[in-house]
Amino acid sequence: MGATLKIIARIHTDFPSKFGIPRQSGLADTHGFIIFEPKFRNPDSIKGIEEYSRLWLLWEFSENKREAWNPMVRPPRLGGNKRVGVFASRSPFRPNPIGLSCVELERVEAETPKGPILYIKGADLMDGTPIYDIKPYLPYVDAYPQAEAGFADRVRDYCLTVEFPEELLKRVPAEKREALRQILAQDPRPSYQEDPERMYGMEYAGVEIRFQVEERRLAVRDVYAKADRQDIVSGV
């Protein structure tokens, strides 16, 4: 009988839904913070973590649970048409819905009313995503720049030109603007969507962004505020 995974923490980000989340960690300068579950809030458990600049997060695809799984998947970067084996991809639709992300550790608050809090950068996780484990990133064993990356190498430079009118950009919190540009440049559409007339929408950092895409050009059409989210760490 396999081991039962325990949720040790949850991450809090500017993505209230999975639409628009970067396809991989580190592709956009997104910010978030990790709050441990009550059972794992002993500050001794993170002693020394501030000595590392990056961390591995092992987490659950909590919005992609399925009873059945398919051995073949259609990676978004291949246009949603070509199929590859699920274990030759990073598809969220897996036998075990487990994700792995490498994030930058910006700072640590060891003692707060909610226990230790880790502030991170570059996460590709939805707000509230359960985290199973946190491990230090070790560059001398975790980094292989010359490794072959299959189809991912062939599409790694894909991006869109983003047209963001200044009057609409001003509706986005100033500290979130650059990350939003990076997210949009990565093409947040479902890969099988190619209709230039279709209006897409995504929520990020408390605003709804409406945009259209034609060929390699993304044009933002509207930005409007969503209901303010309650600050989870208010009073910390």
Domains and CATH numbers, the chain: 9-142 (2.40.30.70), 159-225 (3.30.2310.20)
pLDDT of 231 higher than 50: no
Q: The whole model's pTM is what?
A: 0.90
pLDDT of 93 higher than 80: yes
pLDDT of 96 higher than 80: yes
Residue pLDDT, tens place only, 211-230: 999 989 999 999 999 764 44
Q: What is the dihedral of CA 143, 144, 148, 149, to 10 degrees?
A: 0
Q: First CA to last CA across the chain, in angstroms?
A: 41
Residue pLDDT, tens place only, 67-86: 788 899 888 777 667 899 99
d(CA 30, CA 103): 10
Instruction: Count the alpha carbons within 13 Å of 234 in the hemisphere toward its beta carbon.
Output: 4
pLDDT of 62 higher than 90: no
Residue 229 pLDDT = 44
